Amino acid sequence: MNHNSVVAETQKLVLETPVTAQRASRRQQDYQQVSLYKDVNPLDWEDWHWQLKHRVRTKEELAEVIKLTPEEEQGIKKASGRLSMAITPYWVTLLDPDDPGCPIRRQAVPISFESVVGPHEMVDPCAEDRDSPAPHLVHRYPDRVLLLATDSCAMYCRHCTRRRLVGEHPESNSAGRFDAAIEYIKANRKIRDVLISGGDPLILEDDELESLIQQLRSISHVEFLRIGTRVPVTLPQRITEKLVNMLKKYSPIWVSIHFNHPKEITKRCKMACDMLADSGIPLGSQSVLLKGVNDRPYIMKRLVHELLQIRVRPYYIYQCDPVKGTQHFRTPVAVGINIIEKLRGHTSGYAVPTYVIDGPGGGGKIPIGPNYILSQAKGKYVLRNYKGKIYTYLE
């Protein structure tokens, strides 16, 4: 889909939306119904640079769109200087103005609880800084590395596990900043998989991203490249024809997208995912289990079903890392196990992600799930299926 047809589609969505169905139509990208954006030209709206430049960063601006609670007002004040508030106009149109429990709102608007530090919380719970052999690189597993391509994101998620790094630091985007990381990967023939993440790598300009991908692709032992991003969800306008054509040149590149709630799968988001999938880019999702956002089995089920419909394969559900200031988002581990219990066997295997805990202190991702082995002795396995019926398997 080219840029003009994206604009045309957006306009059509605006025109097709009856004013009476206001709440339901919020999902359909009717941005001109939000008073703050009623005069915005669709061409500007579709321009990702315009979206970034017009992100909502102040309490005053946000108060024009939603009715702020005292917790939110305090949270916004305290968040300045830390993981700042920055909400793309696109995401603003998805916020419920009256419901502070709105999952879209909870993920974007700081609340006062962010300054509470829970008993086991840390600055860098996964010890990424310790396992960093070169700037911007984390090497934890034998055959793959994580490259932190930038500190910036389209929107700052209130549950971000990398909040120690993430934010706007323009000075940190210097040329040549990946030289040491590239040299390290070149010198380590065991590294066959590079995960480009951040921050959000799709916030980089096309040419900068291309130069990084090109350098990685020219290393003969790097066979698998993937990008971790939230842009199709928070700034779908960033997925341009030019970007997908560039990515296509370096195929295979896989893309993992951070999705947390079915409300995030709007028509506009689907358009962005379609453009990626149509150019042959396999898509996966990563979700963070968040209290009050997606901790109910029926919500997760709706999310994974809708993901399959837009050709995104559910990959991981993460237990919310014990990072400082996220206690209000964390659920008991049993909640995650129960979600998998309610999915496995009850729906398509393709819809079932792996629930993982990133071992605090640098253990890497550890899969957690319901136990299907009741006993195991002398070649005899006593198993239960998804309905709880018992079966014996003899070796």
Ligand X SMILES: *Cc1c(COP(=O)(O)O)cnc(C)c1O
- Site residues (CB under 6 A) for ligand SF4? 153, 156-157, 160, 162, 166, 198-200, 230, 258
Nearer to ligand X, 302 or 365 (CB): 365
Task: Considering only the stretches 13-21, 66-74, 140-148, 341-349, report the one whose residues sit in contact with ligand X under the rule CB under 6 A.
Answer: 140-148
Amino acid at 270: K
By CB under 6 A, tell whether 227 contacts ligand X. no
- Which listed residue (78, 96, 141, 315) is catalytic? 141
Q: Out of ligand X, ligand SF4, none, which partner does residue 272 contact, by CB within 5 to 8 A per kind?
A: none
160 labelled catalytic:
yes
Q: Which of 62, 41, 44 is nearest to 53 (CA)?
A: 44
Q: Which of 67, 96, 182 is nearest to 134 (CA)?
A: 182
User: At its nearest, how many Å lie between ligand X and the CB of residue 125?
Assistant: 11
176-181: list long-range contacts, CB under 8 Å, 24+ apart: 177/135, 177/136, 178/136, 178/147, 178/149, 178/212, 178/215, 180/134, 180/135, 180/137, 181/134, 181/135, 181/136, 181/137, 181/147
Count of other CB atoms within 10 angstroms of residue 159: 24
By CB under 6 A, tell whether 146 contacts ligand X. yes
Greatest Cα pair distance, the chain, in angstroms, is 73
In the sheet that holds 283-288, the strands lie side by side as 137-141, 144-148, 193-197, 224-229, 253-258, 283-288, 312-318, 354-359, 364-367
Residue 174, SS3 per DSSP? coil
Q: How far apart are the first and last CA of the chain?
A: 54
Among 311, 313, 365, 384, binds ligand X (CB under 6 A): 365
Asked if residue 167 lies in contact with residue 156, where contact means CB atoms within 8 angstroms, the answer is yes
- Which listed residue (55, 59, 105, 162) is catalytic? 162
365 labelled catalytic:
yes
- Which listed residue (37, 47, 126, 157) is catalytic? 157
- Which listed residue (57, 78, 82, 144) is catalytic? 144
The sign of the dihedral angle between the CA atoms of 248, 250, 254, 256 is negative
Asked if residue 143 lies in contact with residue 108, where contact means CB atoms within 8 angstroms, the answer is no
355 labelled catalytic:
no
**Number of residues counted as binding ligand X (CB under 6 A):** 7
Task: Considering only the stretches 7-15, 41-49, 137-145, 208-216, report the one whose residues sit in contact with ligand X under the rule CB under 6 A.
Answer: 137-145
Q: How far apart are CA 276 and CA 272, in angstroms?
A: 7
Q: Out of ligand SF4, ligand X, none, which partner does residue 78 contact, by CB within 5 to 8 A per kind?
A: none
Task: Considering only the stretches 139-147, 262-270, 332-340, 341-349, report the one whose residues sit in contact with ligand X under the rule CB under 6 A.
Answer: 139-147
Q: How far apart are CA 386 and CA 44, in angstroms?
A: 50
Q: Out of ligand SF4, ligand X, none, which partner does residue 141 contact, by CB within 5 to 8 A per kind?
A: ligand X
By CB under 6 A, tell whether 140 contacts ligand X. yes
By CB under 6 A, tell whether 141 contacts ligand X. yes
Is the peptide bond preceding residue 42 cis, with omega within 30 degrees of 0? no
Q: Out of ligand X, ligand SF4, none, which partner does residue 365 contact, by CB within 5 to 8 A per kind?
A: ligand X
Q: Out of ligand SF4, ligand X, none, which partner does residue 352 contact, by CB within 5 to 8 A per kind?
A: none
156 labelled catalytic:
no
Q: What residues make contact with ligand X under the rule CB under 6 A?
A: 138, 140-141, 144, 146, 195, 365
Active site residues: 140-141, 144, 153, 157, 160, 162, 321, 358, 365
